């Protein structure tokens, strides 16, 4: 039975609670089913899916970064054909209460609608999340999200490929993240995910080389919390679509920060990797916080930050 205190409707999807697993955390579900109760969560965002298989970045791929985690996975995945045949059927059979969003990546604009076309009719998918932090190989490696024209084309072509909701995930490194969100919404996005990892570098001082095999990587974890909350607050003032807050969430009050700043959902990554019990704990803590503060529905917290500039 759905707990109405925690239930949230976002982009036409009913989530039993606002806590999701962020892309890259849940793989395609089966890999973590033995350690995380997926059905206790609001939903999962799958690992990235590209048209062709990707081997990913060289090792080391993940390191501790003090205030967080640094990773350069390189969007490794088996490709859309394999995910359609082997991974999504497992999700459709084994996950019913948690909603499923498929994370989509590409090298060129056309890859995004192509992946969606290949998956749009597959059972058990509730929507798509577009990772627009990928480099556009046709534009010299400029990230799709940093190029207004490319961002518009990615979202509009993806919108034309599906009737399912589209979430667009933006990088905190964008010079105008609110402006990028506006472009995505105008092109057809139903929701915005904030934020992706923050580009960073850790040096192995003994080797005088980067600690990660790829060199730079994406910073996640506790250090990203205030960055993501600020981005959420900024974008909330610029667009009226729902926001998924991501970055540094490890407690119920972390989730409340994002909700007050303007998010309707939150997603966890690094904390879930460190402690697979953390997402279920955050759901409980969020419910307890709401009851202690006489909040009758968690959706009522969205955008209640009392601050203007």
The answer to whether residue 134 is catalytic is: yes
Angle CA 259–265–270, to nearest 5: 95
For residue 102, the cross-strand partners are 128
Query: Residues 8, 36, 134, 273: which is the catalytic one?
Result: 134
Classify residue 163 by burial, with Cβ atoms within 10 Å: 0-12, 13-18, 19+: exposed
* Helices then strands, each counted (H, E), the chain: 9, 18
What is d(CA 27, CA 35) in angstroms, rounded to the nearest whole number? 13
What is d(CA 22, CA 269) in angstroms, rounded to the nearest whole number? 5
Stated as kind and residue range, the H or E segment containing 246 is strand 243-246
Check if the beta carbon of residue 113 is closer than 8 Å to that of residue 158.
yes
Check if the beta carbon of residue 71 is closer than 8 Å to that of residue 57.
no
Stated as kind and residue range, the H or E segment containing 149 is helix 148-161
Q: Which residues are catalytic?
A: 134
């Amino acid at each position: 039975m759905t707990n109405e205190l925690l239930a949230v409707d976002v982009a036409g999807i009913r989530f039993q609670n606002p806590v999701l697993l962020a892309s890259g955390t849940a793989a395609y579900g089966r890999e973590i089913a033995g350690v995380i109760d997926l059905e206790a969560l609001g939903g999962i965002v799958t690992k990235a899916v590209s048209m062709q298989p990707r081997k990913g970045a060289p090792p080391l791929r993940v390191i501790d970064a003090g205030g967080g985690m640094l990773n350069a996975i390189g969007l490794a995945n088996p490709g859309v054909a394999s995910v359609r045949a082997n991974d999504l059927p497992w999700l459709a059979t084994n996950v019913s209460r948690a909603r499923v969003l498929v994370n989509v990546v590409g090298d060129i604009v056309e890859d995004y609608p192509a992946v969606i076309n290949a998956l749009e009719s597959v059972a058990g998918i509730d929507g798509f999340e577009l990772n627009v932090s990928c480099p556009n190989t046709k534009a010299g490696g400029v990230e799709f999200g940093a190029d207004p024209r490319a961002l518009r084309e990615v979202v509009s072509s993806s919108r034309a490929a599906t009737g399912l909701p589209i979430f667009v995930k933006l990088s905190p490194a964008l010079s105008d993240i609110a402006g990028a969100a506006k472009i995505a919404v105008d092109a057809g996005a139903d929701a915005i995910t904030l934020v992706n990892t923050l580009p960073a570098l850790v040096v192995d001082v003994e080797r005088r080389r980067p600690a990660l095999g790829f060199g730079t990587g994406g910073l996640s974890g506790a250090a990203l919390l205030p960055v993501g909350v600020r981005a959420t607050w900024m974008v909330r003032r610029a667009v009226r679509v729902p926001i998924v807050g991501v970055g540094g969430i490890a407690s119920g009050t972390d989730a409340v920060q994002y909700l007050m700043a303007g998010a309707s959902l939150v997603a966890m990554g690094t904390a879930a990797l460190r402690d697979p019990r953390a997402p279920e704990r955050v759901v409980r803590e969020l419910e307890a916080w709401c009851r202690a503060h006489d909040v009758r529905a968690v959706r009522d917290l969205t955008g209640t930050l009392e601050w203007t500039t």
